[in-house]
Amino acid sequence: MASSSIASIQKSFTYDVFLSFRGEDTRTNFIDHLYNALQQQGIYTYKDDEAIRKGKRISDELISSIKDSKFYIIVFSKNYASSAWCLDELVMIMGCHKTTEHTAYPIFYDVEPTEVRKQSGAVGKAFAKHENDEAAGKWKETLKEAADLAGWELKNTANGHEAKLIQKIIEEISLQLRSIDFNADEKLVGMETRVKDVVSSLEIGTDDVRVIGIKGMGGAGKTTLARAVFDQISFRFEAKSFVENVRENSNTSSSGLKLLQNQVLKDALFDQGINVSSVHDGKIMMKKKMRNKKTLLVLDDVDHIDQLEALAGNLNWFKPGSRIIITTRDEQVLVAHRVKLILNVNLLSRKEAIGLFSRYAFGGEIPIQGYEELSEQVVRYAAGLPLTMKILGSFLCGKNKSEWIDALERLKTISLKETLQILELSYNNLEEDYKEIFLNIACFLKRWSKHTAIDVLESCGFHATNGLKVLEQKSLITIVDERGSMHDHIEEMGRNIVRRLHPDKPEKHSRLWIDDEIKDILANDLGTKATRYIQFQLMGGNFEMVMKGLRKMKELRFVHISQNTRYNFAEERTYDNVSQYFPNALQYLRWYRYPFWSLPNTFQANDLVTLKMEWSNIKQLWEGGERKVLNKLKILDLSYSELTTLDLGSSPNLEVLSLRGCRDLVQLDTLNGCRKLKSIDLSNSKLKTIDLRPAVNLELLHLQDCNALVELHMPGKCLNLVSLTLTSSQLRTLHIGQTPNLEYLDLNNCYDLEDLHMADKCLKLTSLNISRSKLKTLDLGLTPNLKKLDLKECKNLVKLHVPIGCLEDLVYLDLTGCLRFTSFLFDERKDASSRRYESIKVGPLAELHLFAKSQETCPLHPDNTLRKFQFECFYKDDPTLTGNLAKLLSFGLCACTNPMTLSGSICGLRRLRKLKLEGYLEAPKDLDQVECLKELCFSMTNMKHLPDSICMMKHLEILRLKDCWSLEKLPEDLGRLKCLQSLTLSSAKIKRLPDSICMLKHLVFLELSDCFYLETLPEDLGQLKCLKTLYLSYAKIEHLPYSICMLKRLRKLTLLRCCSLKTLPKDLGKLERLAGLYLSSSIIKHLPDTICMLKHLKKLVLDDCSLLEKLPEGLDQLERLEQLDLGECKILQDIPIGSICKMKCLKWLDVAGTSISRLPRDICLLKGVCILGSRDLLQSCGFTSEIKTIHDKDTCFVDV
């Protein structure tokens, strides 16, 4: 309310303002007006009563009042200096002003600052009576100091108008008081930036009437934010009102809105006698009375348009410059009221959350010692919601650790009631069908893609697109990157609604999603008609139990079953008389890895909209090949199934068909009845002929890797087709037909394609890939938006025919391997003859891959501004590069025949960042002239030495020397590459690395693969302090340098097939950050005991270490180990007893091919681990039915 006092925030002062004045000059006019104005603004002001003054010196009471005031307003008038009392008061004030807690403002009422400063004029006359007073010198100095302060001079401020001066004083004092200390106020942690954003959006200086909405979920801090903004800016307005709990107060009685109108008018007009007789009367009064005052109005927690129409019906109700802030959970209320600016309240960051929670739990900024981890758990649970932080902080305040732990354990199963009650208000206001959509998202669809969630919900009969929008507007869900999400507490709230009617009888719940509960219901045949939606993960292979358990759930609409297994086992499964059941009411059915060969004939599927059974054993859709009419089916996905044939003639509403990966599919019967098909995916099938002529509404067509396809019939008009992918087929001819909306066309690896007929106009085509075809010529037609054209390895391609202007947007062109390509042909106009361009000029081309054989120079037009150029040539002489290469950032050259040396043209590429040289090349001697080069790669070259100039490349970060079979040594000064981060050397003849390599202080990655001649590593290798990866394979080294144990940042160490390496350094355990140790196919017999000190080790790979005899005893200390691979360690006989069972993070254990005869029986207590070994070994651990056999191997495995 406007009359409430504004407490000083940074320190608790008794008064906001102390007035110092000479009563006889100003008390009955200026001071009274100023005092009343300050009080009216809620600024608590001290004004002494001269009648109580006694003696010549100020009293202790007055001294105390001065010290207990934040601001001082000193009103200098003609007779101010005549009063010793005023002068002593001024000395006290100026003494306090010199501290940081107080501020003094002088007002020169009817005197000038210079008169006060020099005691001249009227001030001098008044002060003359004190010339002989012993305090005169101190008073003079104080008057001078006060006159030098920033303040106001009446005659030079607002043209001498006292009322305007008073307004300016009020604004300045209010502004200072409203400078909120966000760190001091426990309610405002994390609000500082948010308040600034809102204030900035209000643009208070402009004269329009502005309305902004603040939207967010319950408990997110909308009210706190609005209140903070109100407190900070309200002084700038003539009238203000903060209306709390609009939703609640307007619904408490039939007169709720009328009472709220009363509040606004009383607050704004300072008239407690106002009485609104009706809502209509209130609207008229507000329109009439509010238009004369610049108003700040906050309407908090609005949930209906009627509330806004009653309290802020129209902008013309308010005076220009007014501001209205509305907080709500429902964005649609703001949209309906034409609110243009809507701000979302972001949840607290982790740091802000810790701060807010600590204020309530500990009364400070951070958790007290010993409670840090417990506080982190609370903050993780609260997930950024301020309300939960406050509730839990207050609840846990003063409690001991055991009470904290108990409370946190309780939260894992019992939700926080106070939070859920507030959140549920948004749910209660939903219409029934939106409530159902919300519950489905909370129970099943959280984090699903928006597109998939809509498919599921529409399959179940909901208007999903509109429903999701409503839920998002009401702050119950969020859509980010086209993926739906909701706050954890809102999810809890939704699930609690489903469970609370029958908390101990899940079989009576409308939705089931907890695997253990579902397993119990299915196993005991407890299903009921109440269950309409079910989703679970199937563990093990009791499929018949599932089918039988669904019998009693006759009203099921939604079934989503997934299966957790690493392998797919095609076992013959048929129905018995009991398990032949799917509820006929099903609308959405997805069973990942469905085990049966068909759907049961007892399933009528009259209401089925979506059927998804990826990676299933289905060979034919219906048992016995029966044909059923599926009138409502829209989505059919049998990807990667065993399907051999499919008849879709009785699915008239089918829109999406996916048979991707059905490698046994050889026949697709007629699609004549499927004219509504929008998306077809037949990739990786064995179909030879595909007839799509009836599918005139196609938008997406995927036919990737259809290796047997020889005949494709497209619709003559496919007006909606956007994307066509047809790769690795045997087509010779392709007629695409009219496709005006085609954007993406991929015919990659169609090796037999000789004839392509595209539409004359493909105005939207942006990407075209016809690489590795037999096309001789290509007529692009009208393709003005083409950005990527890939024609690599079209070995028969001679000419490219392009209408003029159709390559202006091209950014990528690849002609690599086009052996016969000679020219581009451009048409300047329709009736003009084609003309040949001798060089390539294509718009803003940024990337070009070119194969050149017949030209003597690289054919680049001078106007090109290439950034990336890959050039493969068959030149007999050195290539000459022409054209504009000044902006080239990446250049690759492959010389395929004769040995070459590169001319200085390469070294002149000053901006070049990446250079790749491949084939029969010698490196340029002056590479250091390529000043900006960061990446240099030599591949399959015949160089024996690298030029010394490489060591002078001060910006080089990556150096790759791959398959350099002739390379015998590296430059001794390689250590001068101060910026080098990655060094790769493979298949070279080098025997040693230069010692200077240890000076590469920024080296992160070092690979020495297939270096069969490498005998030693530098002894000071441990000086590579930044090294994270060291990869060594097929080297002849016999030992690792001891200093390797000093590589504190090393995370991955690979020593593959280093057959001369017999031991590892004893202090290997000092590699404290090592996460992966790979020693495959080594001849090591023992591992150093210190390996057990590697606390961050996740992967230990020792497969095929044929001489490995034992493992260290303390292996259980590897607490984070996820993978232990001992496969084919033939003489290894045991694992330290107890070690494995303590590895709680273990996910993979391979003991196949070892001599290990037993494992601890407690190993079955580990969760989520896959164990590979012989059948006898696994059975000895107590595993029986869970054991699976890997195809084509004697090895078995079990998923624990």
Residue spans of beta strands (DSSP E) within 456-525: 478-480, 483-485, 511-512
What stretches of 886-945 show up as alpha helix (H) in DSSP?
904-907
pLDDT for residue 681 is more than 50 = yes
Please provide the average confidence, as pLDDT, over all residues in the chain: 83
Q: What average pLDDT does range 1018-1039 have in this prediction? A: 95
pLDDT at residue number 703: 96
Q: How confident is the model at residue 570 (pLDDT cuts 50, 70, 90)?
A: very low
Q: What average pLDDT does range 1142-1149 have in this prediction? A: 87
pLDDT for residue 875 is more than 50 = no
The whole-angstrom separation of Cα 601 and Cα 616 is 18
The whole-angstrom separation of Cα 217 and Cα 232 is 24
Tell me: the pLDDT tens digits for 522-531?
888 898 999 9
Provide the whole-model pTM: 0.62
Q: What percent of the chain shows pLDDT beyond 70?
A: 86
Q: How confident is the model at residue 907 (pLDDT cuts 50, 70, 90)?
A: low
- Listed ranges 376-390, 637-651, 810-824; the one with the highest mean pLDDT: 637-651
Q: How confident is the model at residue 1017 (pLDDT cuts 50, 70, 90)?
A: very high
pLDDT for residue 180 is more than 60 = no
Q: How confident is the model at residue 178 (pLDDT cuts 50, 70, 90)?
A: low
Tell me: the pLDDT tens digits for 717-770?
999 999 999 999 999 999 998 999 999 999 999 999 999 998 888 889 999 999
Distant-in-sequence contacts of 676-680, Cβ < 8 A, 24+ apart:
676/652, 678/720, 679/655
Encoding tokens for residue 70?
Answer: 């934040």
Q: How confident is the model at residue 501 (pLDDT cuts 50, 70, 90)?
A: confident
Q: Could you give the C-alpha distances from 81 to 124, 129, 415, 565, 790, in angstroms and in order? A: 8, 9, 70, 94, 92
Lowest mean pLDDT among 86-90, 496-500, 1157-1161, 1174-1178: 1157-1161
* Main-chain phi, psi angles of 267, to 5 degrees: -60, -45
pLDDT at residue number 881: 53
Tell me: the pLDDT tens digits for 210-228?
999 999 888 888 888 998 8
Encoding tokens for residue 677?
Answer: 């098909």
pLDDT at residue number 548: 82
The whole-angstrom separation of Cα 151 and Cα 25 is 19
pLDDT at residue number 500: 87
The whole-angstrom separation of Cα 109 and Cα 430 is 62
pLDDT for residue 882 is more than 60 = no
pLDDT at residue number 579: 54
pLDDT for residue 1044 is more than 50 = yes
Residue length, the chain?
1200
Q: How confident is the model at residue 913 (pLDDT cuts 50, 70, 90)?
A: confident
Q: How many whole angstroms from its chain centre is CA 620? A: 42
Per DSSP, the three-state class of 1179 is helix
pLDDT for residue 862 is more than 50 = no
Q: What percent of the chain shows pLDDT beyond 90?
A: 37
Q: How confident is the model at residue 899 (pLDDT cuts 50, 70, 90)?
A: very low
Tell me: the pLDDT tens digits for 579-633?
567 899 999 999 998 888 888 888 888 999 999 999 998 988 887 777 888 899 9
Which CATH fold topology does 419-499 show? Arc Repressor Mutant, subunit A (1.10.10)
What stretches of 31-78 show up as alpha helix (H) in DSSP?
32-40, 60-67
pLDDT at residue number 1197: 81
- Other residues' Cβ atoms within 10 Å of the Cβ of residue 696: 17
pLDDT for residue 574 is more than 70 = no
Tell me: the pLDDT tens digits for 435-475?
999 999 999 998 888 889 999 999 899 999 989 988 888 87
The whole-angstrom separation of Cα 1167 and Cα 1160 is 15
Q: How confident is the model at residue 1104 (pLDDT cuts 50, 70, 90)?
A: very high
pLDDT at residue number 725: 96
Pair 971, 950: CB distance under 8 Å:
yes
pLDDT at residue number 558: 95
Specify the higher pLDDT residue, 623 or 536.
536
pLDDT for residue 688 is more than 90 = yes
Angle between helices 372-382 and 386-396 (to 10 degrees): 140
Tell me: the pLDDT tens digits for 96-154?
998 878 899 999 988 999 999 999 999 999 998 888 888 889 999 999 999 999 889 88
Q: How confident is the model at residue 52 (pLDDT cuts 50, 70, 90)?
A: very low
In one-letter notation, the amino acid at residue 1003 is L
Tell me: the pLDDT tens digits for 395-450?
888 888 888 888 888 877 777 777 777 778 878 888 899 999 999 999 999 888 88
Residue of 89, 172, 614, 918 marked active site: 89
Tell me: the pLDDT tens digits for 802-834?
776 666 677 777 877 777 776 665 554 333 333
Tell me: the pLDDT tens digits for 296-310?
999 999 989 999 999
List, in sequence order, every residue forming a beta bridge with 1100; answer none if it has no partner.
Answer: 1077, 1124
pLDDT at residue number 857: 41
Strand 1188-1189 versus strand 1170-1173 pairing type: unpaired
pLDDT at residue number 838: 39
**Contacts (Cβ under 8 Å, ≥6 apart) of 628:** 604, 605, 622, 650
Q: How confident is the model at residue 3 (pLDDT cuts 50, 70, 90)?
A: very low
Q: What average pLDDT does range 509-519 have in this prediction? A: 91
* Per-position DSSP letters for 659-724, written without gaps between them: -TT-TT--EE---TT-TT--EEE-TT---SEEE-TT-TT--EEEETT-TT--EEE--SB-TT--EE
The whole-angstrom separation of Cα 590 and Cα 459 is 12
pLDDT at residue number 865: 55
Is the domain defined by 15-177 classed in CATH 3.40.50.10140?
Answer: yes
- CATH number assigned to the domain covering 186-344: 3.40.50.300
Q: What average pLDDT does range 1171-1180 have in this prediction? A: 85
pLDDT at residue number 12: 65
Q: What average pLDDT does range 166-187 have in this prediction? A: 70
pLDDT at residue number 260: 92
Strand 1188-1189 versus strand 1196-1199 pairing type: antiparallel
State yes or no: is 89 an active-site residue: yes
Tell me: the pLDDT tens digits for 299-354?
999 989 999 999 998 999 999 999 999 999 888 889 989 999 998 888 888 888 88
Encoding tokens for residue 40?
Answer: 């009216």
pLDDT at residue number 830: 39
Per DSSP, the three-state class of 469 is helix
The whole-angstrom separation of Cα 250 and Cα 336 is 19
pLDDT at residue number 822: 66
